[in-house]
Amino acid sequence: MPADRDFDIVVFGATGFTGELTAAYLAEHAPPGCRWGLAGRNSTKLEEVRTRLSKVNPECADLPLLHADAGDPQSLKTVAESSRLVITTVGPYLQHGGPLVAACAEAGTDYVDLTGESEFVDRTYLDHHDRAVETGARIVHACGFDSIPHDLGAYFTVQQLPAGEPIRMRGIVRTNGRPSGSTFHSALSIMSRRHQSRAAMRERRRREAAPEGRKARASAGKPHQDPLLGLWLLPLPTIDPFIVARSGAALAPYGPDFRYSHYLGVRGLRATALTAGGATALVVAANIPPVRNALKKRIKQGEGPSESRRARSWFTVDFIGEAGGQTVHTKVSGGDPGYTETAKMLAESALCLAFDDNPPTAGQVTTAQAMGDTLLARLQAAGIKFEVVD
């Protein structure tokens, strides 16, 4: 990557709710000398964000502002060529994200986002992975609640298991947090594009090389009661198990045969039935265009809960790993997953890629593959807990 870039980090989408939270985190935690700026299409709103950031850190009063529009490839090219790394919070990514990935892959610029859209991730792999490998760009998707707690939680759990053995692992998510407006819109789009998503995944599998002499895969699992936790488990059809499985395929410590299943944990049969019924109803609604559009109007993008509501929110992800006759129980936990912790994880991922000594990688890579122990240490220092449960 050229050393004469103007910026270390640029935040694209800083005028959105999660984008401003990410910028605020950088305002408090970016190291001295970090050259960073804000990018977006509305200069007035960018100036308003900069003013609010200056109350967090007076040095932010002089933050550079860059014009960039997801619909203007030339503006994205300018941003990508001016920075060592670009953070983007502009979603839904399938609709708005492709041109920025293309610009970063072409310019050799590192890229992080918080997408949970599997189709988008698979399409960008097909379209831009090879070019990113050539230029040295690291394209790292899913650097928020999708999918860092799951990807690095599985990575942490593997480290507690005997080496060289087949591993069976399950992750169980619980939270009282509310999804962001952008996450809700993305989820509706995902549910309405199941056929297109499967087609993209099949095409990626045909092209992507499998690990030699090893296996790593996501297993859907079935609803059941967990024998260790006592929770009822509902399979979660999110991007997270695929991210975990890709880390398993890329990293030899995951053993010769790694299998991961991903669940929502619910207490009680009645709550389980209600949750499953609600999820089914949402899938049906997402596939009826007038209903889907009405739902999108009710929950708008760029909006989020109050600071007091976020302060009451929490998440946990329990991991049960089995290998070589041993069973290990670990847990990742933190605060509000959809906003506060997502902004923290996204910003720390950017800082980690920009400033830490990471494994040599290029192309589209996972957080565990690109950063591993360095990001794990950063998140632990930032208050996200990774622990072995007795």
Task: Write the pLDDT tens digit of every residue in 77-115.
Answer: 999 999 999 999 998 899 999 999 999 999 999 999 999
Lowest mean pLDDT among 2-16, 60-74, 104-118, 335-349: 2-16
Comparing 390 with 94, the larger pLDDT belongs to 94
**Which domain CATH number covers 108?**
3.40.50.720
**pLDDT category, 11, cuts 50, 70, 90?**
very high
Residue 2 lies in a domain: no
Residue 36 lies in a domain: yes
Cα dihedral 237→239→244→250 (10° resolution): 130
Answer yes or no: do 90 and 214 share one domain: no
Answer yes or no: do 353 and 243 share one domain: no
Q: 204 lies in which domain range?
A: 148-337+383-388
pLDDT score, position 182 = 63
Q: Is the pLDDT of residue 132 over 60?
A: yes
- Number of folded domains that form the chain: 2
**pLDDT category, 174, cuts 50, 70, 90?**
very high
Comparing 231 with 273, the larger pLDDT belongs to 231
Residue 1 lies in a domain: no
Answer yes or no: do 195 and 109 share one domain: no
Residue 245 lies in a domain: yes
Answer yes or no: do 37 and 138 share one domain: yes
Q: Is the pTM of this model over 0.85?
A: yes
Residue 22 lies in a domain: yes
Answer yes or no: do 206 and 131 share one domain: no
Q: Is the pLDDT of residue 2 over 60?
A: no
Answer yes or no: do 64 and 22 share one domain: yes
Answer yes or no: do 294 and 206 share one domain: yes
Residue 223 lies in a domain: yes
Answer yes or no: do 349 and 321 share one domain: no
Q: Is the pLDDT of residue 188 over 80?
A: no
pLDDT score, position 340 = 94
Structure tokens at 98: 């492709």
Looking at every residue in the chain, the average pLDDT score rounds to 92
**pLDDT category, 219, cuts 50, 70, 90?**
very high
Condensed to tens digits (0 to 9), the pLDDT of residues 192-215 reads 788 899 999 999 999 998 899 999
Answer yes or no: do 121 and 243 share one domain: no
Residue 322 lies in a domain: yes
* Per-residue three-class SS string for the chain: CCCCCCEEEEEECCCCHHHHHHHHHHHHHCCCCCCEEEEECCHHHHHHHHHHHHHHCHHHHHCCEEECCCCCHHHHHHHHHHEEEEEECCCCHHHHCHHHHHHHHHHCCEEEECCCCHHHHHHHHHHHHHHHHHHCCEEECCCECCEHHHHHHHHHHHCCCCCCCCEEEEEEEEECCCCCHHHHHHHHHHHHCHHHHHHHHHHHHHHCCCCCCCEEEECCCCCEECCCCCCEEEECCCCHHHHHHHHHHHCHHHCCEEEEEEEEEECCHHHHHHHHHHHHHHHHHHCCHHHHHHHHHHCCCCCCCCHHHHHCCCEEEEEEEEECCEEEEEEEEECCCCCHHHHHHHHHHHHHHHHCCCCCCCEECCHHHHCCHHHHHHHHHCCCEEEECC
Q: What is the arithmetic mean of pLDDT over 106-132?
A: 97
Answer yes or no: do 127 and 153 share one domain: no
Q: What is the arithmetic mean of pLDDT over 34-49?
A: 97
Condensed to tens digits (0 to 9), the pLDDT of residues 262-300 reads 999 998 766 667 666 766 665 555 567 776 677 667 766
pLDDT score, position 276 = 63
Residue 126 lies in a domain: yes
Answer yes or no: do 193 and 312 share one domain: yes
Answer yes or no: do 205 and 70 share one domain: no
